[in-house]
Amino acid sequence: MRIALIQHRNASDREANLAETRARVGEAAQRGARLVVLAELHTGPYFCQVEHPAEFDRAEPLPGPSTEALAAIAREHRVVLVGSLFERRAAGLYHNTAVVFERDGQLAGRYRKMHIPDDPGYYEKYYFTPGDLGFQPIDTSAGRLGVLVCWDQWYPEAARLMALAGAEMLIYPTAIGWDPHDTPEEQARQREAWITVQRGHAVANNLPVLACNRVGFEPDPSGAGAGAAFWGSSFVTGPQGELLTQADTESPETLHAEIDPGRTEQVRRQWPFLRDRRIDAYDGLLRRFCD
């Protein structure tokens, strides 16, 4: 099965971003993609660099204008489409939500980001309520999709629970980058850690991993911070963590890869990690810390 990841650079506004998405999904579909993945919060700038009440005006109900636009793109190009939106659930209740559309434009499912970061330039706890839908794969014509979002990608528990629920691949829409003030050595360590941990999820669960990041520099709108240099590097691995394709750190790009749905079965016969799990000995995982 051919899949595509659209490494996104923020354009001037929502309509410009959606127009770019529409064009690039169309190109991916012409090259045979059945599944297309977009980056985290791809319809606008990464607004979490600051804490400001006016930024909540970006949130939309689901369904809403952006879901209608993404549904139309999926339907026009006959692809399963994974998007990422700022969901307004109610006044004062907002989520960072991934949405999945079938080839006919129907909403196949949604996932609300479970792990919410709070770091300089990534003030997401101000905006997003932690997800309450759990780690449930979404069934589509392209397979059972284990969709997670950005900060979730650091947690082996999230990947494992998706695998145990029957996910056939792990998908991470992402917005992660460097602090421009960090040294080149620290920037390299951060990027390599990000790649390595996700390849580890592929290995430990014998599943393909699709990580789709945004790219490019976005200034801090308040002027107080250094801004964020999103490092791109979107990639696809196979079920042994092998890199199938990877983008660079600077350019918008559409990645293509071929995924063999039968390889997970083959690899799990050789590396039976699920068979050998000691579920009788993992009670400590339910504790914050084993004092």
Which of the residues 40, 60, 102, 218 is marked catalytic? 40
Which of the residues 102, 150, 212, 253 is marked catalytic? 150
Contacts of 117 (CB under 8 A, 6+ apart): 124, 125, 150, 151
Query: Can 150 be counted among the known catalytic residues?
Result: yes
Contacts of 56 (CB under 8 A, 6+ apart): 88, 94, 127
Which of the residues 48, 87, 102, 113 is marked catalytic? 113
Query: Can 113 be counted among the known catalytic residues?
Result: yes
The tokens describing 159, both together, are 């990947």
Is residue 37 within 8 Å of 4, Cβ to Cβ?
yes
Give the C-alpha separation, 267 to 101, whole Å. 29
The tokens describing 135, both together, are 């780690």
Give the C-alpha separation, 137 to 156, whole Å. 16
Give the C-alpha separation, 279 to 45, whole Å. 43
Q: Which element (helix H / strand E) includes 192?
A: helix 184-205
Backbone angles phi, psi at 47, to 5 degrees: -80, -10
Query: Can 125 be counted among the known catalytic residues?
Result: no
Give the C-alpha separation, 179 to 121, whole Å. 8
Q: Which residues are catalytic?
A: 40, 113, 150
